[in-house]
Chain A
């Protein structure tokens, strides 16, 4: 997990002067942030500091709430063009397919393991059965779930353990072939072994996706983050890289002070 020297290349996501207001209250204010493929960016901060809202601003999911207004810009590289999510007329479903998200608790559908992955591929992308099959198998291999479920793809997804369910959700998201991944405390409801697998997955795949994750655990943040963004009361109070995390004592002391 050596530090990457990517500072010179243009960012893959650039958030400028982002302000999100929900129910008349400013949840995020004046957010400027740049993300690059190859770096896992972890957002930390006290509860209610706006971490989840920040993630949901990157796939415009906040707009599912009727009383939400967003200002500022979120520009990102999608394919070989730069789009401004809030200005350009990219349809919402497409934005959300290209900016995948995994939630805190495993959000499985009341279907079989197989159908959990197939459904969005068929309904949202309208793919042919062979392509769906190929993507499903690939995604399940990718999250290390294939060997555990290949003989029971037809059994209900709720029969899987929490860790397996969360990896299924991850597989479902990456099967849609996103370029950005938003991971909202994906290990919060898992035991340490299941959490470790997901952490390792993030580290192994940071070159393929631009990853923005939220974490409540400072230990986990130290293990996976290439850069850390500390949020408090809807504002970024600090961002720093791996070099500032090397000294454990110093890192915890700094966090203590910032929270």
Chain B
């Protein structure tokens, strides 16, 4: 084929691919909005309970998705608290400390972890509880903390891979900068490499948050329950938005309940977008502080 034709072909193909992605996302959001927007109301969130009572936990919410919103947010925050420090530290280890041999081994294990289906991870959590019950903790049961730990395992590979990649993407001279200024290895990592790769690392955190918010299979086995209400502590059963969507869609008895399902899906989308927004805000604050600090 002539170079000009090739050029035209690839330009069109790239353009069409971009268009397909944008159109799919727009269609998805449009469809959700169309189906779910009229279900969005205080009643969807709080049912018959007054919103002030629900927000301050004075009265339980029976018919609304408010407990699921709280459950999902708690799950994401807890899973991030577990996974972000470990994932980022493991990424730093692989990029800065590990020998080529260690990198190969640990890298393969991380790949294996990322290939583990989430239902298997859920099963692992469930079995862990059974084991604990038979051994040390006869009262152990599935709940928020177990689900968060399993979700943390699921999102770890994202964090490790993005941290490692963004550290290794730093140009050679910048990588040598800390050492050339007489910084020790850790000072160099802390004061030059992490700031230089912060954007990439936060990208991984955003990915991990998104994944933690949407997972259903893991929590299905590890403590989610329809109509569990607000979790009273870290070991309690909980509700979650993706499970609520599944439950409403699968068990709906009338059109209104199905509409509620779409409304819940829309809320999940909004919650995830808000979490992304929050992460970008943190990134901007950090960048601003570094810039002028």
Contacts and interface: CB of A to CB of B under 8 A. Distances in A.
Given A110-B196, A111-B293, A112-B293, A97 B182 contact: yes
B180 A123 contact: no
A46 interface: no
A127 interface: no
A154 B183 contact: no
A210 interface: no
A248 interface: no
A149 interface: no
A119 B187 CA distance: 10
B290 A97 contact: no
Interface residues of A, number: 32
A103 interface: yes
B214 to A, nearest CB: 32
Contacts of B100: 66
Contacts of B175: 64
B187 A124 contact: yes
A172 interface: yes
A96 B171 CA distance: 20
B255 interface: no
B182 A107 contact: no
Interface in B142-193: 171, 173-177, 179-184, 187, 191-192
B292 interface: yes
B176 A173 contact: no
Contact of B173 (A97, A103, A109, A115): A103
User: Secondary structure of the B side of the interface?
Assistant: helix
B291 A123 contact: no
A96 B180 contact: yes
A107 B290 contact: no
A97 B170 CA distance: 22
A59 interface: yes
Nearest to A155: B292
B78 to A, nearest CB: 31
Interface in B117-148: none
B287 interface: yes
13 contacts: A61-B179, A64-B179, A103-B173, A105-B173, A107-B173, A109-B191, A110-B195, A112-B291, A119-B191, A123-B183, A125-B182, A155-B291, A155-B292
Interface of A: 56, 59, 61, 64, 66, 92-94, 96-97, 100-101, 103-105, 107, 109-112, 115, 119-120, 123-125, 154-156, 172-173, 176
